[in-house]
């Protein structure tokens, strides 16, 4: 099993938290999908997606490229994907729910 994975994180602004809703790993040349709510998240995440940089459509059958493109394309205020990383390199690897921090300038 590769330890490179992507965390898909949902922002809950009212609760002031970020929660991992899914993790996608590369395993034996395929995507391994983990989620406590698989029926909701699998059809949203495991599908062909267009690379926002090239416009090329990428399939989950090309797992390395798929994870990279997922991270580049899923970056909204409600839901985002981390860049591919090894286990232990992200706060989301230590806990599935983290508090939002207020950041201000000046």
**Residue 54, in any domain of the structure:** yes
Greatest Cα pair distance in the chain: 49
| 40-42-47-49 Cα dihedral, nearest 10 degrees | 70
99 assigned to some structural domain: no
pLDDT of 93 above 90: no
pTM tops 0.75, yes or no: yes
Q: Domain for residue 49, yes or no?
A: yes
Share of the chain above pLDDT 90, in %: 67
Record the tokens describing residue 22, joined without a space: 């899914």
- Is 105 within a domain? no
* pLDDT(21) > 60: yes
Q: Is residue 102 part of a domain?
A: no
Alpha carbons 98 and 2: distance in angstroms, whole number: 25
């Amino acid at each position: 099993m590769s330890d490179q994975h992507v965390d898909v994180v949902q922002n809950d602004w009212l609760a002031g938290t970020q929660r991992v809703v899914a993790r996608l790993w590369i395993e034996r040349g395929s995507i391994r999908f983990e989620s406590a709510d698989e029926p909701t998240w699998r059809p949203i995440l495991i599908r062909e997606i267009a690379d926002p940089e090239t416009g090329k459509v990428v399939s989950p059958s090309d797992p390395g490229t798929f994870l990279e493109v997922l991270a580049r394309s899923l970056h909204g205020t409600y839901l985002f994907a981390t860049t591919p990383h090894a286990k232990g390199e992200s706060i989301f690897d230590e806990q599935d729910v983290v508090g939002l921090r207020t950041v201000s300038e000046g």
